[in-house]
Amino acid sequence: MGISLGSRADSNPSKNVADQHLAARLAEAESQGRPLRVKLGIDPTGSDIHLGHSILFRKLRAFQDAGHTAVLIIGDFTARIGDPTGKSATRVQLGAAEVEANAETYLVQLGLGQDPARALLDFETPGRLEVRRNSEWLAAMDLPAVIDLLGTSTVGQMLAKEDFANRYGSGTPISLHEFLYPLLQGYDSVAIEADLELGGTDQKFNVAMGRDLQRHHGLRPQFGLLLPILPGLDGVQKMSKSLGNTVGLAEDALSMYSKLEKVPDAVVNDYLTLLTDLDLAALPVNPRERQKAMALAITAARHGVAAATAAQADAGSLVAGAAGAGAAEAEVPEASLATVNFPAKAFYLLAAVGVCSSSSEARRQIQAGGVKLDGEKLSDPNREFSGTQELAGKVLQLGKKTFRRLVE
RNA sequence: GGGUCGGUGCCCGAGUGGUUAAUGGGGGCGGACUGUAAAUCCGCUGGCUCUGCCUACGUUGGUUCAAAUCCAACCCGGCCCA
């Protein structure tokens, strides 16, 4: 059928993707000496790329390394509609400026201008990467072209898509422009003449749409390679920014490591297979040790082995020596007292320094016993501090994870 | 366009004139516990340098001593009809 599920996302384009169509295309490309054009579309709807995306990028990189051309489509136009896939409600539409800013940070996170050794994609080798924005062809479409596009699909076909079917069935609104999304992103495949498209298994509808549209425009339909979806930190739902269960590529080593070492046991193996090249059989059987090995490997791939090891040590001391006076002191972020108006009451201080999002919340946290100053519990929200000299150099702690060293 | 039902705090969802930021659940945060997590138990979950004062139940007005709760207009949505 031309769409295949990859069972693993590892460092070989075809490994574990048992599909004769893909094999045929790879062989054909080789015999003709023509690299395949491998499409991967990403909508810059947020500012962070997370590990769930990196499955796709790892695979894309594998194609690059095998000599093919990665065509990375920044969905700057489609981002403004919002992919309805997996959504139970209409997305908020984004502004052009916001989308462009997100696009920039995406490229940096993927390795543009970064150390090539840790870059997710190969930005260096000529011919291996094309970065395209789909506003390039979509923004210029006139109404006749849009009508032609709409004519290629039917309401019935659209409603066959699970997300739309669910929403329609439950009486949740579906805006007409959302029907346009699959068509527009499918048209991207036409515009760039993709031989192959990578996507998560949830992208099947969209990828298939690309095939239909290519056929409609007299092109050979792309091959769709669908990769598994990474479960999020909760171990249940897919990793997704809106669910708040992500690990961002931009996160520092400590935060990345400490999130990863806590994922539920049930998904540790998924993380290992999808995000690392480690041999499962060679890893410790003890679940806790396995988690740590996984967290270390993934963190190291992004931040280097040294930083990952340091993060592991810090994470350990944070938990063990939660008193705050431990080895992790050097890693404690600083918070300036410059914006604090003295005399300052304790609850106001927490908010002013950014540890809590409001002074009311700070008051509650203090009353709940979650706040410490230099390891000593702060129990009176109204405790008054007269000036910076009383606080400078001390470590303010909220819960087990949030530390701030106060500086003038 | 007509009819009808509805718009409540981060989300879902009670509440239908009367102390009180407003039941409950989810999520989140904090505490205890543990090999991390989960599970469990407990507490918190609008804002404000706060023993009090503000702002809140789609929007704007109105009725009333008193409104999320009644009325009107408007905006948005579901369903049915056209």
Instruction: Kindly report the number of other CB atoms within 10 A of residue A350's CB atom.
Output: 26
Q: Is the pLDDT reported for residue A3 higher than 60?
A: no
Q: What is the pLDDT of residue A7?
A: 40
Instruction: Kindly report the number of other CB atoms within 10 A of residue A8's CB atom.
Output: 16
Q: Determine the nucleotide nearest to A345 by Cα–C1' distance.
A: B49
Q: Determine the nucleotide nearest to A363 by Cα–C1' distance.
A: B50
All residues at 6 or more sequence positions from A308 whose CB lies less than 8 Å from its CB, including other chains: A253, A257, A296, A297, A299, A300
Q: Is the pLDDT reported for residue A245 higher than 50?
A: yes
Q: Give me the mean pLDDT over the A218-234 stretch.
A: 91
Distance in angstroms: CA A353, C1' B53: 24
Q: Is A238 helix (H, G, I), strand (E, B) or coil?
A: strand
Lowest mean pLDDT among A209-223, A253-267, A312-326: A312-326
More confident residue, A378 or A316: A378
A58-76 confidence digits (pLDDT tens): 999 999 999 999 999 999 9
Q: Is the pLDDT reported for residue A92 higher than 70?
A: no
Question: Distance between CA atoms of A349 and A342, rounded to whole angstroms?
Answer: 9
pLDDT tier at A12 (50, 70, 90 boundaries)? low
**Percent of the residues in chain A that have a pLDDT greater than 90, as a whole number:** 32
Question: Distance between CA atoms of A169 and A346, rounded to whole angstroms?
Answer: 52
User: Which amino acid is present at A230?
Assistant: L
- How are beta strands A395-398 and A371-373 bridged, if at all? antiparallel
Average per-residue pLDDT for chain A:
84
Q: What is the pLDDT of residue A153?
A: 92
Q: What is the pLDDT of residue A15?
A: 52
Tokens representing A131 are: 């970065």
A147-198 confidence digits (pLDDT tens): 999 999 998 999 888 888 888 888 888 888 888 999 999 999 999 999 999 9
Which alpha helices (H) appear in A69-224, and where do they start and end? Answer: 96-110, 135-138, 143-150, 155-160, 162-169, 176-192, 204-216
**CB of A90 within 8 A of CB of A53?**
no
Q: Which helix (H) or strand (E) holds A345?
A: strand A344-345
Q: What is the pLDDT of residue A4?
A: 52
Q: Is the pLDDT reported for residue A5 higher than 60?
A: no
Q: Give me the mean pLDDT over the A211-233 stretch.
A: 93
Q: Is it true that domain A3-243 has CATH number 3.40.50.620?
A: yes
Q: Which value, in Å, is the radius of gyration of the alpha carbons in chain A? A: 25
Q: Is the pLDDT reported for residue A328 higher than 50?
A: no
Q: Is the pLDDT reported for residue A326 higher than 50?
A: no
A35-50 confidence digits (pLDDT tens): 999 999 998 877 778 8
Question: Distance between CA atoms of A358 and A265, rounded to whole angstroms?
Answer: 35
Question: Distance between CA atoms of A198 and A69, rounded to whole angstroms?
Answer: 13
Q: Determine the nucleotide nearest to A173 by Cα–C1' distance.
A: B77
pLDDT tier at A319 (50, 70, 90 boundaries)? low
Residue nearest to nucleotide B42 (CA to C1'): A368
Q: Give me the mean pLDDT over the A9-22 stretch.
A: 61
Instruction: Kindly report the number of other CB atoms within 10 A of residue A183's CB atom.
Output: 20
> Of A257-261, A295-299, A395-399, where does the model show the most confidence?
A295-299
Distance in angstroms: CA A305, C1' B62: 69
Residue nearest to nucleotide B44 (CA to C1'): A364
Distance in angstroms: CA A344, C1' B54: 21
Q: Determine the nucleotide nearest to A370 by Cα–C1' distance.
A: B30
Tokens representing A303 are: 């931040």
Q: Determine the nucleotide nearest to A346 by Cα–C1' distance.
A: B49
Q: What is the pLDDT of residue A144?
A: 93
Phi and psi (nearest 5°) for A176?
A: -60, -35
Lowest mean pLDDT among A3-7, A36-40, A78-82: A3-7
Task: List residue ranges whose Cβ is under 7 angstroms from nucleic strand B.
Answer: A 168, 171-174, 234, 244, 261-265, 287-288, 291, 319, 340-345, 347-348, 351, 357-361, 363-365, 368-370, 384, 398-402
Distance in angstroms: CA A357, C1' B73: 39
Distance in angstroms: CA A368, C1' B41: 16
Q: Which CATH fold topology does A334-407 show? A: 3.10.290
Q: Determine the nucleotide nearest to A90 by Cα–C1' distance.
A: B77
Going from N- to C-terminal start, the domains of chain A cover 3-243, 253-320, 334-407
A105-154 confidence digits (pLDDT tens): 999 999 888 888 888 999 999 999 999 999 999 999 999 999 999 999 99
Distance in angstroms: CA A14, C1' B31: 51
Q: Is A363 helix (H, G, I), strand (E, B) or coil?
A: helix
Q: Which nucleotides of B are covered by protein (CB under 7 A)?
A: 27-31, 35-38, 43-50, 77-79
More confident residue, A15 or A216: A216
pLDDT tier at A9 (50, 70, 90 boundaries)? very low
Q: Is the pLDDT reported for residue A375 higher than 90?
A: no
Distance in angstroms: CA A92, C1' B76: 15
